[in-house]
């Protein structure tokens, strides 16, 4: 099992860095890496599957790697270099490691593109010199908040007396953008700011969200209705599971996630509805395929990808999830 570094990577051949362009490679001699921070999550499995399928179609090799922390990412880059890879796609485990990973990539002459989470430079700002493809965190978050507000209205809930469980991870800029977008949309819809309760999670999975959400629910038992949002659907599901343990019924909870992956499919397939109302689905398949294609074209044709490409989301619920899944190729 290959171990790698969980961080942000960089590009060799990036303009403005004083890096010489690497030579072009024959199309049948290309190997790229695809490094993800959570290889067990359906979203990242889909991305790597899509990149591998494109490689088979176009004739280049994709090496699938995990990078769950900084050291694993660095080790992964070393591994790719030993295999003769010309570049890699990465969703970094820590966006602040961008400069460090850039140096390692520069050392090996590799081209790098980020997917989902964008590198931050030493100044805390996005590294625009590294091509990035991902969703607009804030806009996707707004979709979450607007969806929740609409469903609250449909159920006849008074926004003045509803509580919000905001499962947060403010160390990850993308996560904060998403929860900020949802928060602002709810406030615009008449939600009471004092009724929004943070549940800081240690990780971005279901179990850590469950652990974060449980004490918040216990301390605020005066509320009969709850809405739940977070950076992804796994975290929202953790909040929903906590609400069930606390004794809230599905009709007392509106949870809306982000992604559109196996976690949501499993929830929508349950015989009875749960408090997980929906998710803003984004095509992880498209993310994986397009980011790999951008890197391949860069390597073979010297066409650098756009600095930042933003994708949009589609509301997926129990009523339409199968159709949305087919439409987005999930």
In whole angstroms, give the CA distance from residue 42 to residue 281: 13
- Supply the pLDDT for residue 28: 60
- Joined together, the tokens standing for residue 63 give 């090496």
The whole-number pLDDT of residue 27 equals 54
Tell me the C-alpha distance between 141 and 133, whole Å.
17
Which whole number is the average pLDDT over 17-40? 70
Give the tens place of pLDDT for each residue, 241-270.
999 999 999 999 999 999 888 889 999 999
pLDDT of residue 5: 36
Task: Report residue 239 as tokens.
Answer: 């909040």
What is the rounded average pLDDT of the residues 72-78? 96
Residue 155: pLDDT above 90?
Answer: yes
Structure tokens, 269:
């397939």
Q: Report d(CA 235, CA 79) in Å as an integer.
A: 32
Q: What share of the chain is helix, strand, coil (3-state, %, to 5)?
A: 45, 20, 35
Percentage of the chain surpassing pLDDT 70?
92
Is the pLDDT confidence value at 2 over 50? no
Domains and CATH numbers, the chain: 31-134+284-310 (3.40.50.2300), 137-281 (3.40.50.2300)
Q: What is the mean pLDDT of the chain?
A: 90
- What is the distance between the alpha carbons of residues 146 and 199, in angstroms, rounded to a whole number? 21
> Residues 312, 287: contact at Cβ < 8 Å?
no
Reference 314, options 301, 303, 329; nearest CA is 329
């Amino acid at each position: 099992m290959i171990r790698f570094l969980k961080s942000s990577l960089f590009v060799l051949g990036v303009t403005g860095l004083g890096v010489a362009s690497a030579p072009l490679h024959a199309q049948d001699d290309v190997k790229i890496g695809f490094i993800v921070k959570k290889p067990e999550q359906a979203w990242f499995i889909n991305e790597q599957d899509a990149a591998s399928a494109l490689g088979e179609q176009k004739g280049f090799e994709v090496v699938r790697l995990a990078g769950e922390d900084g050291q694993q990412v660095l080790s992964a880059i070393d591994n790719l270099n030993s295999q003769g890879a010309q570049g890699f796609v990465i969703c970094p485990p820590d966006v602040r490691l961008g400069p460090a990973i850039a140096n390692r990539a520069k050392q090996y002459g590799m081209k790098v593109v980020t997917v989902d989470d964008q590198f931050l430079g030493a100044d805390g700002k996005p590294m625009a010199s590294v091509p990035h493809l991902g969703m607009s965190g804030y806009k996707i978050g707004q979709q979450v908040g607007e969806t929740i507000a609409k469903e609250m209205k449909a159920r006849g809930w008074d926004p003045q007396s509803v509580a919000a469980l905001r499962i947060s991870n403010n160390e990850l800029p993308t996560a904060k953008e998403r929860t900020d977008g949802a928060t602002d949309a709810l406030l615009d819809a008449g939600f009471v700011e004092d009724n929004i309760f943070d549940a800081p999670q240690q990780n971005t999975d279901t179990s850590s969200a469950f652990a974060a959400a449980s004490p918040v629910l216990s301390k605020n038992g005066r509320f009969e209705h709850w809405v739940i949002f977070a950076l992804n659907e796994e975290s929202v599901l953790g909040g929903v599971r906590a609400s069930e343990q606390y004794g809230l019924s599905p009709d007392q909870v509106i949870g809306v996630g982000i992604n559109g992956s196996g976690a949501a499919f499993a929830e929508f397939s349950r015989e009875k509805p749960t408090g997980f109302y929906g998710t803003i689905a984004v095509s992880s398949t498209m993310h994986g395929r397009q980011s790999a294609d951008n890197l391949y074209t860069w390597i073979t044709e010297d066409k650098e990808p756009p600095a930042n490409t933003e994708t949009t989301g589609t509301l997926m619920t129990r009523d339409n999830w199968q159709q949305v899944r087919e439409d987005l190729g999930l």
